[in-house]
Copies of this chain bind each other. A is one copy, B any other.
Amino acid sequence: MGKERNGNYFEDFQVGTKITHATPRTLTEGDQSLYVGLTGSRAALYTADTNARQLGFERRPLEDLLVFNVAFGKTVPDISLNAIANLGYSDVRFVAPVYPDDTLAVKSEIIGLKENSSRQSGVVYVRSIATNQYGVEVLTWIRWVMIRKRDSGADCLEKDVPSLDPWVPADHLQWGAYTAAVQNISSATGVGDLWDDYAVGERIVHPGAMAINNSDHSIATRLYQNTAKAHFDEFSAAAAGGQRLVYGGHVISICKALAYDGIENGLSILAINAGSHVNPTYASDTIACATEVIDKFDFDSNYVGGLRLRMIGVKNARPESIEFPGSKLGKVSYPSNVVLDLDYTIAIPKRM
């Protein structure tokens, strides 16, 4: 009758294993309100019903990163309860809008494994898919995570590392929810900058800065029903000479909210191409960020295009001081105040 729920260790995973995560979750206006309170998000599409209708939607969808964080949280008890570090994201695609009162269900498949040379841990590669209550896929992503071994002497499977695209190609992006009505966005935001007005190589310093308080990240992480111990167990963290870590998804949300100023007409995230939590964020750190335009995607559309952006988040530094080290994510040495290097693609109206 053992009822110890101590999560999976590296040896417990096999390539091809499929997991249905518990339990489905209904998202509501209440979750959206709390998301605004926790992040300060001002994105036009999510902020007002009037905006959403002007932009061609019947109803106001839920914030993209609220959906991501909740879906991600669902995978934690099965995948990353014993994680040492969340190493990266790939092929994160926002496939369909999620609306208040929709219910997310999340499944995963193990797609790769690699034991570390220390034999104390290994890297697990996971593909996860979130569907709504109609079985429609709304979000899919790959992440890889370093997980402890239960027994360092255990035999492990051979190395099986999946081949991952460095970014989501334009023809995999789902921008079909957008119609010509998105042209109306400037009347909501008061800002004229559209797809046409961003140039590859352009850099945008976002002027805001946001201190993260202990309750901020704790409430956010609980809202996402993410149970990773590193975010909640101050007693054990202090006993080990450390402190609780801020959940990386909360850092992404804070940076995304700060990035509103300068990218006001961004409609939603289409993809996260890659991402790295470069250094840890702790409570009382103040976060700031800057963006570089990496690429522009000219979809087969007269009214919406894609911007591939690189967002660097720092702690306890002015956003004006942010540099964009190296040319490949995760392959460079970062200053110690960099906490996030995120490569993502947004939809933004084109000038008709």
Contact = CB atoms under 8 A, between A and B. Distances in A.
Given A22-B191, A29-B28, A219 B216 contact: yes
A26 B49 contact: yes
A222 B47 CA distance: 13
A277 to B, nearest CB: 19
A209 B236 contact: yes
Copies of this chain, whole number: 3
Nearest to A234: B211
Contacts of A232: 40, 208-211, 286
Interface in A181-224: 188-191, 193, 197-199, 202, 204-211, 213-216, 218-223
Contact of A198 (B1, B220, B244): B1
Counting chain B CB atoms within 10 Å of each CB, the highest count among A39, A188, A215 belongs to: A215
Interface in A24-53: 24-26, 28-34, 36-40, 42, 44, 47-51
A29 B101 CA distance: 10
Contacts of A190: 20-23
A213 B215 contact: yes
Contacts of A236: 209, 286, 318
A4 B205 contact: yes
A331 interface: no
21 contacts: A3-B262, A5-B206, A5-B261, A6-B207, A24-B48, A26-B49, A26-B60, A30-B32, A30-B34, A31-B33, A33-B33, A34-B34, A36-B222, A37-B220, A50-B103, A209-B235, A209-B236, A211-B234, A213-B218, A216-B219, A236-B286
